[in-house]
């Protein structure tokens, strides 16, 4: 099974931004699975908090290559509650992002990329990498807390985002790596 290297680089709030009003964490993402480099970490403009949120989802759900927001989005303009969206949350973003499909099989994940590359990882290794990444981003996010959110819809969306994140993170600790989860 392929080794995984996932880490954040230079976490920050938007330039000249107030960390108490910026609901997202920005920065670079270095992600290598086996010999396949997905992101080299040199672009420091990814919405790292939404990427962590999305990657936590991959511990429990398959990810299609097309039809869902990218796993690593460039932008995450806001978070709005929406009953018609997965997790009850809509996070609009721009057309820039990194996506690939992930399919769960007992004890492993199949990662398939648009160029045809296919890499297999152990679910326990993926869980460890994703949880460490998410925990690092969460610490930075909470370094400017509580957030000051004036708009009611934005506040409800952010609270739901944090609630789902925390639920996924707690449930991730229960993954044993053998069961198919969807």
Could you tell me the mean pLDDT of each successive run of 10 residues in the chain, 182 residues long? 95 85 94 97 95 96 88 87 86 89 96 96 97 97 94 94 96 74 45
**Phi/psi zone of residue 137: left (φ > 0), alpha (ψ -120 to 50 degrees), beta?**
alpha
- CA contacts within 13 A on the Cβ side of 9: 14
182 is a domain residue = no
- Number of domains present in the structure of the chain: 1
129 is a domain residue = yes
111 is a domain residue = yes
Structural domain boundaries enclosing 157: 4-172
130 is a domain residue = yes
54 is a domain residue = yes
Rg of the chain taking only CA atoms, in angstroms? 16
Looking at residue 20, its pLDDT comes to 93
12 Cβ contact partners less than 8 Å away, ≥ 6 residues apart: 25, 26, 27, 44
36 is a domain residue = yes
181 is a domain residue = no
CB atoms under 10 Å from CB of 76, counted, come to 24
Closest CA to 54 of 140, 157, 150, 134: 134
Looking at residue 179, its pLDDT comes to 44
Instruction: Quickly tell me which residue has 């330039």 as its tokens.
Output: 15
72 is a domain residue = yes
| CA torsion, ordered 65, 67, 70, 74, to nearest 10 deg | 140
Residue 144: exposure state from Cβ atoms within 10 A (0-12, 13-18, ≥19): middle
Is the Cβ–Cβ distance between 135 and 23 less than 8 Å? no
């Amino acid at each position: 099974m392929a080794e995984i290297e996932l880490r954040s680089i230079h976490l920050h709030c938007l330039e000249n931004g107030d960390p108490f009003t910026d609901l997202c964490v920005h920065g670079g993402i270095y992600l290598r699975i086996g010999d396949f480099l997905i992101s080299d970490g040199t672009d420091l403009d990814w919405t790292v908090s939404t990427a962590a949120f999305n990657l936590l989802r991959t511990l429990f759900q398959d990810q299609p290559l097309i039809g869902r927001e990218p796993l690593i989005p460039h932008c995450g303009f806001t978070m709005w509650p929406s009953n018609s969206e997965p997790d009850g949350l809509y996070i609009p973003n721009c057309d820039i992002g990194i996506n690939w499909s992930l399919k769960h099989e007992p004890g492993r994940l199949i990662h398939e990329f648009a160029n045809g590359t296919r890499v297999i990882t152990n679910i326990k290794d993926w869980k460890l990498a994703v949880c460490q990444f998410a925990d690092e981003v969460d610490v930075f996010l909470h370094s400017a807390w509580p957030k000051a959110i004036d708009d009611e819809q934005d506040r409800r969306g952010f609270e739901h985002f944090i609630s789902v994140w925390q639920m996924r993170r707690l449930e991730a600790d229960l993954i044993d790596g053998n069961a198919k989860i969807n």
